[in-house]
Amino acid sequence: MEMSRSPSQDEAAGILFVVSTGPGDMGNLTPLAREAMLESEVVIGNQFYLEQMKTLLVGKKVITSHMGKEVDRAREAVRLARGSRVAMVSGGDAGVYGMASIVLELAQREAPGLEVKIIPGVTAATAAASVLGSPLSGDFLVISLSDLLTPWEVIERRLDLGFQMGIPIAVYNPRSHNRPGNLKKALEIGLRHARPDTPVGIVRNAYRNEGEDFTVTDLRSLHEDDSAVDMHSMVIIGGESTRLLKEGEDVRGIITPRGYHRKYVY
């Protein structure tokens, strides 16, 4: 929200950046995101993400918080930005299950005229895809299994329609403390519409120094045993044209061809 009217002195001084830091460490932090953090006097964010960006925080006021306090964190950021340059940090892309929307909502209501700038980043879905090969090459669906902010019935209905589309699905929040069975239910819906041997990739800790790994399985097998999926996982379920990437008998990842074979001989 750029300002439309003449700013008061205080508002002129203030700006609130919502900075996407990408997945993992600083290797995925864009120059625009880096600049926004360096320009800010105050940096606010989840402790986990700020840990990865330590070298950018020298000399700044740093306010850390923990998961699950998004509304409080956003309100604090908006309040502080009335008089200073503030960076609200959000992992992945801030506009995808991140802090952008709640910050904009609160800024609109509580600080009209405040300049808010959303800095995009590498989102977790495409980062995980790059680890697996190229499962999201064409059309795809992004969906979260967390029913904290969306009723489960709505999620189920979306999944049912989504699987009918036959396109890959990037599943955020596949596992949560409160509803450990959501993934199994989602895969059940998948099995109504998709081949049981549809490839599925599970990526843990993408681009983090410690412990990035991935597993390739299929819809039926994951439905039988989903213990490989934890809270730090992204699950990508293939579409009807998704297949395994192999070298000899070794599975290397998954790929959704874009369909050049229908147009070209190669």
Binding to a copy of itself (CB under 8 A): which residues in 129-158? 129-131, 133-144, 148-150, 155, 157-158
Q: Which is nearer to a copy of itself, 165 or 191 (CB)?
A: 165
Instruction: Supply the minimum distance, in Å, between the C-beta of residue 55 and a copy of itself.
Output: 12
Q: Is 127 in the site for a copy of itself (CB under 8 A)?
A: yes
Rounded CA-CA distance 48/25 in Å is: 11
Number of residues forming the site for a copy of itself (CB under 8 A): 84
Q: Which is nearer to a copy of itself, 7 or 220 (CB)?
A: 7
* Nearby residues of 24 by Cβ (< 8 Å), 6 or more positions away: 52, 127, 205, 206, 207, 208, 209, 212
Q: Which is nearer to a copy of itself, 161 or 231 (CB)?
A: 161
Q: Are strands 199-204 and 213-218 parallel, antiparallel or unpaired?
A: antiparallel
Q: Is 94 in the site for a copy of itself (CB under 8 A)?
A: yes
User: Binder to a copy of itself among 28, 46, 182, 217 (CB under 8 A)?
Assistant: 28
Q: Which two tokens stand for residue 226?
A: 């989903």
Among 45, 40, 1, smallest CA distance to 20 is for: 45
Q: Give the range of 76-84, 162-170, 174-182, 183-191 binding a copy of itself by CB under 8 A.
A: 162-170
* Main-chain dihedrals φ then ψ at residue 4, nearest 5 degrees: -100, -30
* Nearby residues of 61 by Cβ (< 8 Å), 6 or more positions away: 41, 42, 43
User: Binder to a copy of itself among 8, 13, 79, 108 (CB under 8 A)?
Assistant: 108
Q: Is 246 in the site for a copy of itself (CB under 8 A)?
A: yes
Pick out residues in 59-88 that bind a copy of itself (CB under 8 A). Answer: 70-71, 75
User: Binder to a copy of itself among 26, 38, 62, 228 (CB under 8 A)?
Assistant: 26
User: Binder to a copy of itself among 105, 224, 225, 230 (CB under 8 A)?
Assistant: 105
75-80-82-87 Cα dihedral, nearest 10 degrees: -90
Q: Is 30 in the site for a copy of itself (CB under 8 A)?
A: yes
Are 53 and 76 a contacting pair, CB within 8 Å?
no
Q: Is 250 in the site for a copy of itself (CB under 8 A)?
A: yes
Rounded CA-CA distance 129/127 in Å is: 5
